[in-house]
């Protein structure tokens, strides 16, 4: 059995949880999120605690048990606090800006790259090199951050490119001339 799945999910007073058969709706100060539970997982709600129970001991139920608990926990954190990822652009002439809710990246290509964020995701640019992605859905925030980073990942020789704020880049020594 999953150790993560066995943990109870605590609900604070400012969060409203509604359960309709296999659909769970979580409302908070920042917005609302919906998740459809897998058929092999059962859910029980007490006063301010949610408990997940697998319906059988199949391999599929074991796989989805901890995953479902983590997703619901992240939804509760998202609607109350939100999630945030920070990216840093390094390189001479590399910069970014926001035009009409679209992120415009100039990172060494002959053209600028435009990235339009999905709904509920907000992108902010500070001093042309720091990008902040925020939203209530952890999966979407991480996906948008990975999409922006994949435009120009950091290279190992000079470290130029787009990297996460706390990411360390393993540097290589350049070719020695004779």
% residues pLDDT > 70 (the chain): 99
pLDDT of residue 7: 84
Average pLDDT over residues 138-147: 93
List of residues 6+ apart from 5 with CB closer than 8 A: 52, 54, 65, 66, 68, 69
Segment 20-53, tens digit of pLDDT: 888 899 998 888 999 998 888 888 888 888 888 8
pLDDT of residue 38: 87
* Domain annotation for the chain: domains and CATH numbers: 3-80 (3.90.930.12), 83-164 (3.90.930.12)
pLDDT of residue 1: 57
> 115 or 3: which carries more pLDDT confidence?
115
């Amino acid at each position: 059995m999953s150790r993560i799945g066995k943990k109870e999910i605590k609900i604070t007073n400012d969060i409203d949880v509604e359960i309709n058969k296999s659909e769970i709706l979580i409302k908070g100060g920042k917005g609302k999120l919906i998740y459809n539970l897998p058929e092999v997982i059962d859910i029980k709600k007490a006063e301010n605690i949610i408990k997940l129970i697998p319906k059988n001991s199949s391999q599929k139920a074991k796989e989805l048990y901890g995953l479902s608990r983590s997703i619901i926990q992240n939804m509760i954190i998202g609607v109350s606090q939100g999630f945030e990822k920070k990216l840093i652009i390094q390189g001479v002439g590399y910069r970014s800006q926001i035009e009409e809710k679209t992120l415009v990246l100039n990172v060494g290509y002959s053209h600028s790259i435009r990235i339009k964020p999905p709904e509920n995701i907000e992108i902010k640019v500070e001093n042309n090199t720091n990008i902040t992605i925020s939203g209530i859905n952890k999966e979407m925030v991480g996906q948008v951050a990975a999409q922006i980073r994949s435009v120009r990942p950091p290279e190992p020789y000079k470290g130029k490119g787009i990297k996460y704020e706390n990411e360390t880049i393993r540097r290589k020594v350049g070719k020695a001339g004779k």
